[in-house]
Structure 1
Amino acid sequence: MAGKFEPYEYDSRHVYNTARPVGYDDEDVFGHEEGHDIRYKTLSWGMVAVLMIAEIVSNGMLSLPSSLAVVGMVPGLILIVFLGIFATYTSWLLVKFKMNHPEVHTMGDAGNILFGPIGRELLAFGTVVFAIFATGGQLLAGQIALASLSDNKLCTMLYTGIFAIPTLACSFPRTFDKLSWLSIASVCSIIVAGIVGMVGAGLYPEPNREVDIVRTTTFYDAFISVTNPVFSYAGHFMFFILVSEMRRPQDAMKAAYTLQATATTFYAVFAAVTYAYLGRAVASPSFTSLQPKWQKAAYGLALPNFLLAGSLYAHTASKLVFVRVFRHSKHLHSHTALGWGVWAALVVVMNGAAFVLAVGVPIFNYLIGIAASLFAAWFTYGIAGFFWLHDEYHYGDGRPGWGRHWFQTTLCIATIAVGAFICIAGMYVTVRAIVDAYASGELAAPFAC
């Protein structure tokens, strides 16, 4: 399928310019940035990869060993590797769509192209909701880490509030390049924390551990456990926003390949080693199953990652609304009082909403599962199939093109079907889990310690 834009252009001095595709800046959300105070398109593909890894490889990986405990070592590892390959494929579909549609800044913009105004509002709403819930999830991870480090001496709500303050502060920069260098420390922190966690499990294994190669279980238990690896790859909702801030958007797949190779390898090794030493008794998050000193070391090292990942999510939610309001206006690229005032208000609102939900809603962890099922299942997997089918139809040969590229067409239809299955099944098991939690009386009161 031919793209809308030629790969390179000559600049005004007739010098061959490999930075931007022909016509891209004319339609790109940030346009031509020469002479502007605030420039967004500054990221290299390496920095985008670091930002993606910092966002995706985070507290979600700590639930992977418990997933292996439910389904067994071999099925669990096969699933992790398969999902990594699948996420790489859907990343490729998203990047191709972005290159054909420079004006796409968020999933909402993509929804407008695919489904019209209703699609735009629905996918934009889903992006903001999922980003806020993901921010809240990182706040809870920070709460658990701080509680572990201080031996639970304070009310848990206070730990969440303490962690929310630096998360809010790190959300304030207007451009991702201001966060990219912090992301390097974030990536190092979660990788080192994972290594420390594996060492701690190896030095102090569960003496009576049971490790299953394959384990038979019910559909409900199996699927509720595999949602952990499924949604550990749920970062695609940020792809369009990140690629929009790249100097060379055509290098986006280099970042995606780096992300998926790093995430899949680390997920598989961490899950397998931790489960092998701790067995079925491994908790979620898995650091909680370690000996106290190793638990504290692992959580302490992971704190920078939890903080920055939460900031990236809150930044993403804020930027979606900010660009939607000020697109093509001077407030997007200039240091205006209105622009900075609206940006600051959005950052505070997004972080505030995440905090209130995290501490005030007893079923918040389950709501994260619902949000992931409703939106992340589509953002990461299903909707990518629509992207290729749409562009092949409009910029290729229409329906005959679908027939000629039958294998790719089949893959895209399968991608849509997988997204639908994850969405429906994820909703079912999460709602059932909420019902069971209420029946057992395990839910705490709102804003409880």
Structure 2
Amino acid sequence: MLSLPSSLAIIGLIPGLLLILFLGVFATYTSYLLVQFKLRHPEVHNMGDAGYILFGPVGREVLSAGTLVFAVLATGGQLLAGQIALSALSGGKLCLMLYTGIFAVPTLLFSAPRTLDRLTYLSVLAVASIIIAGLIGMIGAGLHPTPGHHIVAVRASSFYLAFFSITNPVFAYAGHFMFFILISEMKKPQDAMKAAYTLQIGATTLYAVFAVLMYVYLGAGVQSPAFSSLPPKWAKAAYGVALPNFLIAGSLYAHTAAKLLFVRLFRHSRHLHSHTVTGWSAWALLILLANSLAFILAISVPIFSYLIGIAASLFASWYTYGIAGAFWLHDAYHDNPGGKGFGTWRRKWRQAALAMATFVAGAFICVAGTYVTVRGIVEAYRDGTVGSPFAC
């Protein structure tokens, strides 16, 4: 959410707003396809299991690896968000690595529960914190607008700059890779779509309102994250309130990475559901490993933010958008009354066409997103804006 105003500054108010709304609707549609696939295949626990149904053993390994990589990098991204927040709150008095380390400790602790119901109320707190922080940011921007700023309805830009900015709203809806794991632990999985509607409507509304108001008041110079463009007191207030969101989001991502491996190891054993020494020891090790990798990558890789962009382009583009179309096409092919075949595709040609378009859209986002991110890395090294590993 905090990067969306800067996207509007690059492509203009109207295209940016339309893109956020369109992607919200698109993500809702793909949420529906994912939920329906899960309900039809209750044995699916994560994207790796879905990959096995679609593409066999190779699909399982590729989609499982993608989930692990993206979850660990997303955890690191939240650690950096916490680093920025703590630095703003303290006036940057400590080395940035220390802020990251300080934030990594509670992230590790909150990701430790083995079941997601233990994180439910913390997640409610996280949602409330980012909503209130967004309100604080919008009020601060409204009371202290950037003097002489200009609002551009439509801004011409190169494909590279435009799509580079578009990756922010595209990956604002990148939580779909967790859906199967979340639904697997719901008391009533058939209610999953209610949760998905609540998520997408709430998120899209907040994204649109926040992005527009922050851009309108702060103009083309709005930073990413947007709170950094506020006066110091307002920035500290917003970052302080947003801290629980950064913390719980990072914990959920680390939990997801560990949970995938834990279920893979103990799926057909008592250690998955019982309190055994072996089960808890393995879980503790996996949680420590996921959080440690995220921390090490966040502080040691100078192009870490670009690395997240590459992972999102390679995997989140499929998990959130493209592969949902493949789920529908797969089940429709196998649901043909006369046996396996394309009869259902022909009868439901509109749905089939939409599913195919969804798959193509995922492929385009994957290729274009990877291209602009790699080009961004090249330009960053050329301009000398890349820092050094373990720098303060």
Partner residue in 2 for 1:200:
140
Partner residue in 2 for 1:359:
299
Partner residue in 1 for 2:152:
212
Give the whole-Å Cα distance in 2 for the aligned partners of 1:210 and 1:301. Answer: 29
Q: Any stretches of 5+ residues in structure 2 without a counterpart? A: none
Q: Deviations over 1:391-447 (max 9, x none)?
A: 011123430110110000000000000000000000000000000011111111100
Give the whole-Å Cα distance in 1 for the aligned partners of 2:186 and 2:353. Answer: 31
Instruction: Give 1:425's aligned amino acid.
Output: A
From 206, 209, 222, the equivalent of 2:162 is 222
Report how far residue 356 of structure 1 moved: 0.3
Q: Any stretches of 5+ residues in structure 1 without a counterpart? A: 1-60
Matched, 1:416 2:356: no
Say if 2:335 and 2:344, in contact at 8 Å, map to a contact too.
no
Identity level (%): 68
Displacement over 3 Å in runs of 4+: none
CA RMSD of aligned residues (A): 0.5
Partner residue in 2 for 1:81:
21
Partner residue in 2 for 1:350:
290
For 1:282-361, what aligned pairs fall within 5 Å after superposition? 282-361=222-301
Give the whole-Å Cα distance in 1 for the aligned partners of 2:82 and 2:363. Answer: 32
For 1:10-25, what aligned pairs fall within 5 Å after superposition? none
Give the whole-Å Cα distance in 1 for the aligned partners of 2:273 and 2:170. Answer: 37
Partner residue in 2 for 1:278:
218
Partner residue in 1 for 2:386:
443
For 1:47-196, what aligned pairs fall within 5 Å after superposition? 61-196=1-136
Deviates more, 1:390-399 or 1:302-311: 390-399
From 172, 179, 196, the equivalent of 1:256 is 196
Give the whole-Å Cα distance in 1 for the aligned partners of 2:40 and 2:366. Answer: 27
Give the whole-Å Cα distance in 2 for the aligned partners of 1:99 and 1:147. Answer: 44
Matched, 1:373 2:313: yes
Q: Deviations over 1:113-153 (max 9, x none)?
A: 00000000000000000000000000000000000000000
From 416, 428, 444, the equivalent of 2:371 is 428
Give the whole-Å Cα distance in 2 for the aligned partners of 1:88 and 1:372. Answer: 18
Q: Deviations over 1:234-264 (max 9, x none)?
A: 0000000000011111111000000000000
- TM-score using structure 2 length: 0.99
2:153 alignment partner, SS class: coil
Partner residue in 1 for 2:349:
406
2:2 alignment partner, SS class: helix
Instruction: Give 1:327's aligned amino acid.
Output: R
1:62 alignment partner, SS class: coil
Give the whole-Å Cα distance in 2 for the aligned partners of 1:333 and 1:414. Answer: 40
Instruction: Give 1:191's aligned amino acid.
Output: I
Give the whole-Å Cα distance in 2 for the aligned partners of 1:445 and 1:392. Answer: 51
For 1:5-44, what aligned pairs fall within 5 Å after superposition? none
From 234, 238, 243, the equivalent of 2:174 is 234
1:241 alignment partner, SS class: helix
